Chain A
Amino acid sequence: MARAGRAPWLTLQRREAIEAWLFVSPTLIGFLIFFLGPLIAVVFYSVSEWNLLSGEQVFVGMANYHDALRENPDFWHVIRNSVIFAIGLVPLNMALALTLALALSRPFRGVVFFRTVFFAPVVTSAVAWAIVWKFLLQGEGGTVNALLGYVGIDGPNWLREPDWAMAAVIVTRVIKMVGLNMILYIAALQAIPRDYEEAARLEGASGWQIFRMVTWPLLAPATLIIMVITTIGSFKVFDHIYLMTGGGPENGTLVLAYYIYEQAFEFFNVGYASALAMIMFVIVLALTIVQLILRQKGAA
Chain B
Amino acid sequence: MTQRGLERLKRAMWTLSLSVLAIPFVFPFLWMVSSGFKSATEIFGQPTLIPRVWRWTNFVEVFQYQPFAQQYFNSLYIACLVTVITLVLSSLAGYALARMRFAGAGLLMLFLVSALMVPEEVTIIPNFFLMRWLGLMDTHGPLVLLPVFGPHGVMATFLMRQYFVALPKELEEAGKMDGLSRIGIWWRIALPMSRPALAAVAIITFLFSWNLFLEPLVFVSSLEKFTLPLALSNFTDAYGLPLWHLQLAATSLAVVPILIVYLIAQRQIIESFAMSGVKG
Contact = CB atoms under 8 A, between A and B. Distances in A.
Interface stretch (B57-65, B66-74, B193-201, B268-276): B268-276
A42 B11 contact: no
A285 B116 CA distance: 10
B213 interface: yes
A260 B128 CA distance: 13
B22 A35 contact: no
Nearest to B17: A103
A125 B211 contact: yes
A interface secondary structure, majority: helix
Given A16-B100, A34-B150, A42-B125, A128 B251 contact: yes
B262 A123 contact: yes
B122 A124 contact: no
A273 interface: yes
Contact of A124 (B95, B103, B258, B267): B258
B159 interface: no
B68 to A, nearest CB: 14
A135 interface: yes
Contact of B119 (A116, A175, A242, A284): A284
Interface stretch (A61-69, A151-159, A275-283): A275-283
Contacts of A235: 119
Contacts of A129: 28
A103 B14 contact: yes
B1 interface: no
Interface in A197-250: 229-230, 232-233, 235-236, 238-239, 242-243
Among A116, A126, A147, chain B packs the most CB atoms within 10 A around the CB of A116
B232 A31 contact: no
Contacts of A91: none
B18 interface: yes
Given A120-B262, A122-B273, A124-B258, A30 B148 contact: yes
A180 B103 CA distance: 37
Contacts of A19: 96, 100, 182-183
A16 B254 CA distance: 46
A39 B118 contact: yes
A110 interface: yes
Given A27-B157, A35-B115, A39-B123, A116 B263 contact: yes
Chain A interface size, as a band, is 35 or more
Contacts of A132: 28-29, 31-32, 248, 251
Contact of B95 (A23, A116, A281): A23
A33 interface: yes
B179 interface: no
A20 B255 CA distance: 41
A42 B126 contact: yes
B279 interface: yes
Contacts of A122: 273
A21 B108 CA distance: 10
A13 B101 contact: yes
Nearest to A285: B117
A120 B210 contact: no
Interface string B106-127: 0010001001111111111111
Interface in A22-69: 23-24, 26-28, 30-31, 33-39, 41-42, 45
Contact of B126 (A45, A120, A239): A45
Contacts of A127: 211, 213, 228-229, 232-233
A261 interface: yes
Contacts of A24: 92-93, 96-97, 108
B5 interface: no
A69 to B, nearest CB: 18
A239 B33 CA distance: 21
Nearest to B90: A27
Given A23-B95, A26-B92, A133-B28, A128 B125 contact: no
B232 A239 contact: no
Contacts of B233: 127, 131, 243
Contacts of B128: 264-265
Nearest to A41: B126
Contacts of B259: 120, 123-124
Interface of B: 11, 14-15, 18, 21-22, 24-26, 28-29, 31-32, 35, 43-44, 46-47, 89-90, 92-93, 95-97, 100-103, 105, 108, 112, 115-130, 145-146, 148-151, 153-154, 157, 182-183, 186, 207, 210-211, 213-214, 217-218, 228-229, 232-233, 242, 244, 247-248, 251, 254-255, 258-259, 262-263, 266-267, 269-270, 273-274, 277-280
17 contacts: A19-B100, A33-B130, A34-B123, A34-B130, A34-B146, A35-B151, A119-B273, A131-B248, A135-B247, A180-B280, A239-B229, A260-B125, A261-B121, A261-B218, A264-B128, A265-B218, A284-B118
